[in-house]
Amino acid sequence: MRNKILHGDSAVVLKTFDPEAIDATVTDPPYGLGTKQPMAEDIASYLHDGSKLDHGGDFMGRDWDIPSVPLWREVYRVMKPGGILMAFAGTRTLDLMAAGIAAAGFTYVGVLSWCYGQGFPKSLNIDKAIDKMKGATREVVGHREGGFGNKHEDVTFSLGDWTPTGGNDISQATPEAAKWEGWGTALKPAWEPILVFSKGPTDWRMPLVPFLYSAKASKGETTLEGLVENNHPTKKPVDVMAWLVRLSEVPKEGVVLDPFLGSGTTAVACAELRVGYVGIERDDHFVEISRKRVGLVGAKAEVEDEQSDLFEELMG
């Protein structure tokens, strides 16, 4: 099982793998973000009964739940002893992600960080969220001008924030929302944690610099020079996944697993590093994108290998 992109549900597909066939796992699983906070009994069922955690299913219009404990147990089963698991997590749900991985039998090692600088750090307006939750329509009550620095433009002054839009003031639609006018949640983070676990005892150690600063996926990565349109909404940059693959210390004859392959970035990183990979993705659209992306890397690698052989002949 090497250099494969498989279409299906990881919880099912992984059952077909031989035990201890995988050297490391590098993955970007669903974060379980949403507007619903799991209760204590929900978390207990998740950890002990294998139940999924209901987070509302409303993040970016998709039902992306935190992976179940039984799925992580399958990942544990197929990994070699001492192998490293690196899994991205959301800043608001990394505790639940870590608890699920630990419940599957993995040993906690530490946390790495991917830092990025794009995007203004926004805060969720609590009164606006309350009105939305209640299905209430907010009334336009006025108009104002404003802006940042020397640039003046119409803005909406709503719930305590300045957002360049059409220029209307909005009132709260419900009494509950009015009580929370001007209040917001913590700022949107400019980093994402990567949880690091091992299968049993390991010689692997956290790097001296446990973070990487990298821009989000570039337009070039998104369009791949116009050959493949990658429209995955949460894709990671190739250099970030390559950083993790290198840190996993998998030999080139080894295999890296990504049970949540998405648009194939982990596989692309492995292909560029000449490391074996197996990716699983349940969305057939992204399976197709993944295979095209890896195919382009493979063609590029063949050209590079031919150039390398020619160089060796000339130098020989």
Q: Phi-psi category of 263—alpha, beta or left, where left has phi over 0 and alpha has psi -120 to 50?
A: alpha
214 or 225, which is more confident: 214
* Domain parsing of the chain, residue ranges: 4-117+190-315, 126-178
Amino acid (1-letter code) at residue 65:
D
- The type of residue at 183 is W
Q: Are 214 and 240 in contact (CB under 8 A)?
A: yes
pLDDT for res 185: 65
Please give the mean pLDDT across all residues of the chain.
Answer: 81
According to the model, what pLDDT value does residue 158 have?
39
The answer, yes or no, to whether residue 169 has pLDDT greater than 90, is: no
In this prediction, residue 309 carries a pLDDT of 59
Q: How far separated are the first and last CA of the chain, in Å rounded?
A: 36
Q: 212: which strand partners?
A: 114
The whole-number pLDDT of residue 222 equals 59
Q: What is the pTM of this model?
A: 0.75
Cα separation, 131 vs 178, in Å, equals 9
The token pair at 146 is: 């404003």
CATH-assigned architecture of domain 4-117+190-315? 3-Layer(aba) Sandwich (3.40)
User: How far is 75 from 57, CA to CA, in rounded Å?
Assistant: 24
Question: What is the rounded average pLDDT of the residues 286-313?
Answer: 73
pLDDT category of residue 100 using cuts at 50, 70 and 90:
very high
Mean pLDDT, range 121-128, rounded to an integer = 69
Predicted pLDDT at 315 = 59
The SS3 of residue 32 is coil
Question: For a pLDDT cut of 70, what percent of the chain falls above it?
Answer: 72
Res 159: pLDDT: 38
Question: Which has the higher per-residue pLDDT, 252 or 27?
Answer: 27
- Check whether 124 has a pLDDT greater than 90: no
Q: What is the mean pLDDT of residues 245-267?
A: 95
At 144 the pLDDT is 46
Q: What is the mean pLDDT of residues 22-49?
A: 91
CA dihedral 270, 271, 272, 274 (to 10 degrees): 80
Instruction: Select the more confidently predicted residue: 285 or 83.
Output: 83
Mean pLDDT score, 114-137? 74
Give the pLDDT score at 161.
40
- Highest mean pLDDT, choosing among 49-53, 145-149, 198-202, 235-239: 198-202
Q: Which amino acid is at 268?
A: V
DSSP state of 59: B
Determine the average pLDDT of the residues in 173-198.
78
Q: What is the mean pLDDT of residues 18-29?
A: 98
Task: Answer yes or no: is pLDDT of 79 > 90.
Answer: yes
CB–CB of 123/188 below 8 Å? Answer: yes
DSSP of 103-140: HTTPEEEEEEEEE---S-----BHHHHHHHHHTPPPPE
Residue 206 has pLDDT above 90, yes or no: yes
